[in-house]
Amino acid sequence: MKGNFAMNPAAARLPIAESFLIQQDWSIYTPDQHAVWAELVSRRMPQLEEHACAEYLDGFDQIGLREDAIPNLAEVNKRLGPRTGWNATSVSGFLPPDAFFEMLAARQFPTTTWLRKRESLEYTPEPDIFHDVFGHVPMHAHPVFADFLQEYGRVCAGLIHDKDKLERMGRLFWFTVEFGVIRQKGEIKLYGSGLISSHGESTHVINRSSEGGPEIRDFDLDAVLNQEFLVSEMQKVLYAVESFDQIYEAAKEAEHRLT
């Protein structure tokens, strides 16, 4: 374990993000909302069992996510905290960059608490609890990924006044945390939350040769920092890592390249 999470994450000071923090009131979710969650999970799991990376599937079990109920973040954190020191912390919505990076550097993942409606099972323009918890949080149980994400937040916090450098760091986030893939036993496996939480995006990657899906290149930090992307379109290029150590080292190396 490279990171130091001896401090209690819940007690970490977040002077910038503080005004965005909210409490999740789990008791107000309706049976229909829990049913929407169950439907979302049951739509994704058959594909993920075959195509998600092993670390995601392990993390899903380790943090006790349920297929039939919206996650209670307090329960998730009771399991996640002792493993890596990460905490899924409820926030009111999109955070400005300085608050977002402050939270990552403190091992607190900003997590929305609302859930998409049944009419938009496949896509929401803004992240909801399905994208944030189902898509992101299982990977935070993996020690190296956990260290990478904290390091990423720390490096970005140090670049906060340089828009151009932050944009380049945003590409590192996009091609790892959101749309990352990894080679395991000779196959491409998914770990980015934008893939994990989207059936359409994942299918586009899995069936890439028949559906004109993305070209998969070997991960290269310089290439990623220079790779523009469109949020609103299916991805045309993705970068495959060989191990999660590679992205941890990339976050550290990015600091040298950009400062």
Q: Which residue is nearest to Fe ion (CB)?
A: 193
Which residue in 90, 197, 198, 202 is the catalytic one?
Answer: 197
Report the alpha-carbon angle 42-137-180, nearest 5: 85
From the list 51, 55, 102, 136, the catalytic residue is: 136
Active site residue 199: no
Q: How far is the CB of 195 from Fe ion (least distance, A)?
A: 10
Q: What is the phi/psi pair of residue 190, to 5°?
A: -95, 140
Q: Give the SS3 label for residue 50.
A: helix
Q: Is 136 a catalytic residue?
A: yes
Please state the closest distance from residue 82 (CB atom) to Fe ion, in A: 24
CA distance 63 to 50: 20
Closer CB to Fe ion, 94 or 167, in the complex? 94
Closest separation in Å from C-beta 178 to Fe ion:
5
122 given a catalytic annotation: no
Residue (150 or 193) nearer to Fe ion, CB:
193
Host H or E run for residue 160: none
Which residue in the list 131, 151, 193, 201 is annotated as catalytic?
Answer: 131
List 178, 193, 198, 201, catalytic entry? 178
DSSP string, 96-141: -HHHHHHHHHTTEEEE------GGGSS--SS--HIIIIIIIGGGGG
Q: Per the structure block, which two tokens stand in for 193? A: 């939350």
Selection from 165, 167, 201, 157 nearest residue 181 by Cα: 201
Nearer to Fe ion, 193 or 202 (CB): 193
CB-based contact 174:156 (threshold 8 Å): no
Q: Which is nearer to Fe ion, 94 or 242 (CB)?
A: 94
Q: Which of 65, 70, 62, 67 is nearest to 41 (CA)?
A: 67
Q: Which is nearer to Fe ion, 111 or 246 (CB)?
A: 111
**Residues near Fe ion (CB under 5 A), total:** 1
Is residue 235 a contact residue for Fe ion (CB under 5 A)? no
Q: Provide the minimum distance between the beta carbon of 127 and Fe ion in the complex, in angstroms, as a whole number.
A: 5
Least distance from Fe ion to the Cβ atom of residue 96, Å: 16
Active site residue 197: yes
157-216 positions binding Fe ion, by CB under 5 A? 193
Question: Is-contact 224 173, C-beta < 8 A?
Answer: no
The catalytic residue positions are 131, 136, 178, 197
Q: Where does this chain bind Fe ion (CB under 5 A)?
A: 193
